[in-house]
Amino acid sequence: MEEDFREMLGKLIDGSIDVLSRFEDMERDKVILEAKKALEKDEDPTIRGNSALVLSHFGELEEIKDVLIGALDDESWIVRHDVAIALGEIGDETVMESLVGLLDDEELEVRKRAVESLGKIEAPEALDHLEKYTDEESLQPELTYALKVLGDDELLINCYRNGNKEVREIAIQALGDRGDNKDILLEALKDGQWRVREEAVKALGRVKGKDVTDSLLNILRKEDNEHVQEAAIKSLSEQEIEEIPSELSEFEEHEKASLRIAWARSIGKIGGEEVLEYLLSALFKEHNPQVKWGIADALSSVVNSNKKLVYEKLDSCDDHEKLMLAYALGSAGDRKGIDHLFEGIEHESWKVRQKSVEALGRIDTKDMNKRQKEYSFKSLLRAMDDTDKWVRASAIKSFAKLADENDDLIKEVKDKIKLESDEDVINTFNDLFSD
């Protein structure tokens, strides 16, 4: 085997070079051939193990399956460990029996990787084998992840009720993702670990019912962990609530900014003129800029309930709050504050510039007069030269909405992107304007 190839294999584990990308520059058949030789004959177990990983990345199932399965009898657990990972990466049910054979390996790390890989290949038949290991504490996290993929509610519930805090968190997250498991989610609200309660609360946001609403309100009354509180506020907003509960109102002036933001966004989803008045009052009382923008986001959901009131506030408030109300109106498709958005695009704060750009993109050009329409495109084109990449990316998104299929306008954006160097901005453009 060529020395440079072996050297590359040796460096795969220590991150000294991006080895996989180096292999991609080589002839594929040669990579497969040399990696097979290394797996079968090299004296260094690290080299042999890394060869298995390379084979799983470049090889097709039929050309590498036999050599990988043959390596499962390697005397080094390092090799068996990496082969277990490689078989999972292949993702084919035909390797299931080989992975099952590793579940009784003498080395714990090998058994863990075998369980994970059985989950990756998504073979329902693997459940019969994994079920035998549900009481093995050392495999609980990996087993729970595998069950999450394979989808057995009964075993996941068993993991939750008998597992440690890490396993309980994974199990509740999985059960929440899988639909109708309301009873176990409600049970988990009493868990002693706050992360488990948080996952249960998040999942209950996707479940409807008076008992769910009552349980979430009870969390707000009794819970003292801010992460669980925030999750409960967000999940409560997904319930069918017609007026602001007193338990939710308590968070309007909470000391934690994140909870005040969650409160605003939650009541914004309730909607109605009363909520609009609450949010306007909170906007003018609030001093934290981040919270004020959170309130402005919430206002965009309810401004249509009484636009006249919002217009009055827009005419009478200070410049910074004018920008926020203009953002709320623009986000709802209203052009009343559009001149303030133009000013916001030139603001010293990147966050204000980004918000102004976003709102401008939500106003239909059919509702703009000629001056507003022309200035909108000019402002967004200037924003594509902004020093902040997120402002530039937002400007591209908004321009795409307003330009629709205008070839001349789209050409201007394409000319701009030729000078762009940031990958995130380029990806935004490609997502929107790819042919």
**Which stretch of DSSP H or E encloses residue 434?**
none
Write down the pLDDT at residue 14: 52
What span, in angstroms and rounded, lies between the C-alpha atoms of 168 and 171?
5
Provide the residue type at 336 as one letter.
Answer: K
Predicted TM-score of the model (pTM): 0.76
Task: Give the angle subtended at the CA of 400 by the CAs of 395 and 404, to the nearest 5°.
Answer: 150
Residues 65 and 52: beta-carbon distance below 8 Å: no
Token digits for 247? 């338990």
Write down the pLDDT at residue 56: 86
Burial letters 281-308, b for 16+ CB under 10 A, else e: ebbeebeeeebbbbbbbbbbbbbeebee
Question: How much of the chain exceeds pLDDT 70, in percent?
Answer: 96
What span, in angstroms and rounded, lies between the C-alpha atoms of 195 and 227?
8
Q: Read off the pLDDT of residues 221-238 as tens digits, 9 standing for 90 and up.
A: 999 999 999 999 999 999
Residue 225, SS3? coil
Spans of the chain, pLDDT less than 50: 1, 15-17
Token digits for 199? 């996952």
Phi, psi of 27 (to 5 degrees): -65, 130
Q: How far is CA 285 from the centre of its chain?
A: 33
Strands of 227-309 (E only): list them.
none
Token digits for 43? 């004296």
Show the domains of the chain with their CATH numbers: 1-125 (1.25.10.10)
Can you list the pairs that 426-433 forms with residues at least 24 positions away whose Cβ atoms lie under 8 Å? 428/393, 428/396, 428/397, 429/396, 432/396, 432/397, 432/400, 433/400
Distance of CA 192 to CAs 26, 197, 198, 285, Å?
Answer: 54, 8, 11, 37
Residue recorded with tokens 């999985």: 174
